[in-house]
Amino acid sequence: MGNAKKPNTIRTKLLIVFGIGVFSLTACLSHKNGPSDTHKPELFITYLFTAETIFEKIEINQNRLSYTYFEDSNNKCSRWFYQYPCWTEKDLKKKEAILANSDINDLISLILQTKFMELANIYSNAPPEQRSYPYIVKVKLQEMTREVIYQSFKNDQSMPEAMEKLIEMLYKLVKREFK
Number of Cβ within 10 Å of residue 173's Cβ equals: 19
Confidence of residue 8 (pLDDT cuts 50, 70, 90): low
Does the pLDDT of residue 6 top 50, yes or no? no
Across the chain, mean pLDDT equals: 83
**Rounded to 5 degrees, what angle do the CA atoms 94, 112, 117 make?**
75
- Please answer whether residues 45 and 139 qualify as being in contact, where contact means their C-beta atoms are separated by less than 8 angstroms: yes
pTM assigned to the model: 0.76
| Sheet with strand 54-61: strands edge to edge | 92-98, 64-70, 54-61, 43-51, 133-141, 144-152, 122-123
SS3 category, 22: helix
Q: pLDDT band for position 157 (50/70/90)?
A: confident
CB 129 within 8 A of CB 99: no
Dist. CA 98–CA 105, nearest whole Å: 14
Residue 148 phi/psi, 5-degree rounding, is -120, 130
pLDDT > 90? residue 24? no
| Per-residue pLDDT tens over the stretch 80-91 | 989 899 999 999
H helices, E strands: number in the chain: 3, 7
Is the Cβ–Cβ distance between 47 and 69 less than 8 Å? no
